[in-house]
């Protein structure tokens, strides 16, 4: 079992309750990464569903979550031939961190698309992309150590005082440990990039209010390509869209989140 599988493990207590242990390894200076929380909740949802694949996940983030034991509580809303619908929440001591609605279905891993757009932005090759400098140990950005990301250089220009001036963030992504991507890794990948607003000059913790992502195909082994952008920064709010392409050139996930601008 990989570290990621272990950290997202959901142990069935009964039909509606799963025990989880939120892992400090996925924290970002204290709070846990939202994608990691979604992955953990989706383990329970998929286990309890007649369908294995979380095709559509809407997550509303109520409170910052910190490491330690917690529960996933499920309500089955519908179980159909094509799709099942589940309400899920991540709770500790009766207080919910995240509330989610999830549609599960059974995807055909071998289906060829009827129609597909290409990536919205062309990425340079892996060899022309760059790593972020190692985070200072004191910052407790444990999350960064759990994955390898190779960035499209202009989109991390903000690190050296050269933001591009528009919301964007792009990188190749894989787990630091040898594990092929699966739908749970994708749940984390859609929330793994630095906030797109850093490239537009913003700073500071940018709390996600809502994130919806769709699983569009089962990912092939190898690197994922994350292409993040946004359309509007206004009134303290911004949107962030991430498209995830697999090594076979397929669109495997699409996300959009609405988040608050940091005050940093």
Please report, as ranges, the residues that interact with a second copy according to CB under 8 A: 55-56, 58, 60, 62-63, 77-78, 82-83, 85, 87, 96, 99, 101, 103, 105, 107-108, 111-117, 166-167, 200, 209-210, 212, 214, 216-217, 230-237, 239, 243, 251, 254, 256, 258, 260-261
C-beta atoms surrounding 75 within 10 Å:
11
Render 172-197 in DSSP notation, one character per residue: EEEESSS----HHHHHHHTT-SPPGG
Nearest approach, Cβ of residue 197 and a second copy (Å): 8
Burial class (CB in 10 A: 0-12, 13-18, 19+), 101: middle
Note whether 207 and 84 are within 8 A (CB). Answer: no
CB nearer a second copy, residue 111 or residue 138: 111
Residues in the chain: 264
Nearest approach, Cβ of residue 34 and a second copy (Å): 14
Nearest approach, Cβ of residue 243 and a second copy (Å): 7
Note whether 41 and 58 are within 8 A (CB). Answer: no
User: Would you state the structure tokens that stand for residue 123, as one six-digit string?
Assistant: 């990425």
CB nearer a second copy, residue 15 or residue 117: 117
Nearest approach, Cβ of residue 94 and a second copy (Å): 13
**Cα distance between residue 71 and residue 91, in whole Å:** 5
Nearest approach, Cβ of residue 244 and a second copy (Å): 11
Nearest approach, Cβ of residue 114 and a second copy (Å): 4
CB nearer a second copy, residue 24 or residue 241: 241
CB nearer a second copy, residue 83 or residue 141: 83
Beta strands across the sheet bearing 11-14: 11-14, 17-22, 68-79, 83-92, 95-105, 53-61, 208-215, 251-260, 237-245, 224-229, 168-175, 147-151
CB nearer a second copy, residue 17 or residue 58: 58
User: Would you state the structure tokens that stand for residue 186, as one six-digit string?
Assistant: 């994708």
Nearest approach, Cβ of residue 138 and a second copy (Å): 29
User: Would you state the structure tokens that stand for residue 214, as one six-digit string?
Assistant: 């769709």
Burial class (CB in 10 A: 0-12, 13-18, 19+), 48: buried
């Amino acid at each position: 079992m990989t570290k990621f599988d272990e950290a997202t493990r959901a142990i069935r207590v009964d039909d509606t309750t799963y025990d989880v242990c939120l892992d400090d390894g996925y924290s970002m200076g204290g709070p846990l990464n939202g994608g990691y929380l979604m992955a953990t909740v989706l383990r329970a949802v998929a286990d309890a569903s007649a369908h294995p694949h979380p095709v559509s996940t809407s997550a509303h983030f109520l409170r910052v979550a910190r490491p330690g034991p917690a529960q996933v509580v499920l309500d089955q809303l519908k179980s159909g031939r094509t799709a099942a619908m589940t309400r899920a929440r991540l709770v500790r001591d009766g207080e919910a961190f995240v509330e989610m609605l999830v549609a599960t279905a059974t995807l055909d891993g071998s289906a060829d698309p009827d129609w597909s757009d290409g990536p919205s932005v062309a990425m340079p090759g892996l060899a022309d992309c760059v790593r972020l400098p190692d985070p200072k140990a004191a910052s407790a950005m444990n999350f960064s150590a759990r994955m390898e990301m190779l960035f499209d250089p202009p989109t991390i220009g903000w690190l050296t005082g050269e933001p591009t001036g528009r919301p964007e963030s792009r990188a190749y992504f894989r787990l630091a440990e040898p594990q092929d991507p699966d739908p749970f890794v994708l749940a984390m990948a859609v929330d793994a990039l630095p906030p797109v607003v850093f490239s537009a000059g913003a700073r500071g913790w940018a709390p996600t209010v809502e994130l919806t992502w769709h699983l569009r195909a089962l990912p092939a082994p190898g690197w994922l390509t994350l292409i993040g952008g946004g359309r509007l920064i206004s009134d303290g709010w911004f949107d962030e869209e991430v498209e995830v392409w697999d090594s076979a050139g397929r669109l495997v996930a699409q996300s959009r989140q609405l988040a608050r601008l940091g005050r940093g």
